Amino acid sequence: MLLDEDAVRRLIRMEDVIDAMGPALADFSSGKVVQPVRSVVPVAEHGGFLGVMPAYAGSLGVKLVTFYPGNTEIPTHLATIMLFSPETGEPLVTMDGTLITEMRTAAASAVATNLLAREDSSILAILGSGVQARSHLQALRLVRPLHEVRVWSPHGAQAFAREHNVRATDTAEEAVRGADIVVTVTSSTAPVLKGEWLSPGTHINAVGATRPTWRELDDTTMQRARLYVDSRDAGQAESGDVQAGTIVAELGEVALDRTRGRQSPEEITLFKSVGIAVEDVVTAQLVYDRAIEDRAI
């Protein structure tokens, strides 16, 4: 059975993905999830990557995802997810995973924001203007009362601002200074966020730079912020930003109350997300269950 992106879109809501993501990350950090670190095949000739991401979390599935940072007419991330019967191994469904990747990434950031950002956070800065900027704006509006949203990007900020009724800035620094929450969702391989711009009490969700030699965040940011990750192993293996910092905890450990999140109103917190397979499999299961309920398959 096959569900295309339009079918997935009809069957899933951001609110439901956010609700599912906290327990999924908690299960991962408690050892209930069987999941290797993503296997990545470079496609150097064309500047791309193929990732293979299996997981067993009660649900059994695998995501195949390509990442081509140079794509302009189509998304930089394209994905397919398959679910299998845990009891027999029988293939249950194949579905487009591009929208799921977009939504589950933002949902994880929303969980991090709920756990780590100040409750009175109301000014959001987004560095980047692609699909992750859009999904993060949608998700973070569900967990914090945002009164002002600023966006900066080398390309597309003005169009994004018009579409979403937010304010485009001329520089990243202008977007970040005074913001309560900062989201970095760029394809940059060099830092776009400088720690000197951050106000005390800021929370950062960093999503880009998911290769060991890539950075979105400068050393000052990594020194000033308390670093939380979705996976210690994946973060250390895949993220140049994580390798430049010191991990305090996995986000799932905060969700489980095994470690404290924010320690004070002045503390700067950072959630560095590389994206892990359990997020995809749990979200795909939501889609599959809803499709069964709606007799869509």
Report the alpha-carbon distance of residue 216 to residue 56 in Å, rounded: 31
pLDDT number for residue 69: 86
Listing from the earlier edge strand, what are the strands of the sheet with 59-67? Answer: 2-3, 91-96, 77-84, 59-67, 48-57, 39-43
DSSP secondary-structure letter at 274?
A: -
The CATH class given to the 2-101+277-293 domain equals alpha beta
| Encoded tokens for 206 | 């960093």
Over residues 143-148, mean pLDDT: 97
CB count in 10 Å sphere of residue 274: 24
- For a pLDDT cut of 70, what percent of the chain falls above it? 100
Most distant CA pair in the chain: distance in Å? 56
Residue ranges of the domains in the chain? 2-101+277-293, 118-272
Which CATH code is given to the segment(s) 118-272? Answer: 3.40.50.720
Q: Measured in whole angstroms, how far is the alpha carbon of residue 244 from the centre of its chain?
A: 19
Q: Is the pTM of this model over 0.75?
A: yes
pLDDT band at residue 1 under the 50/70/90 scheme: confident
Position 109 pLDDT exceeds 80: yes
Over residues 28-46, mean pLDDT: 96
Position 254 pLDDT exceeds 80: yes
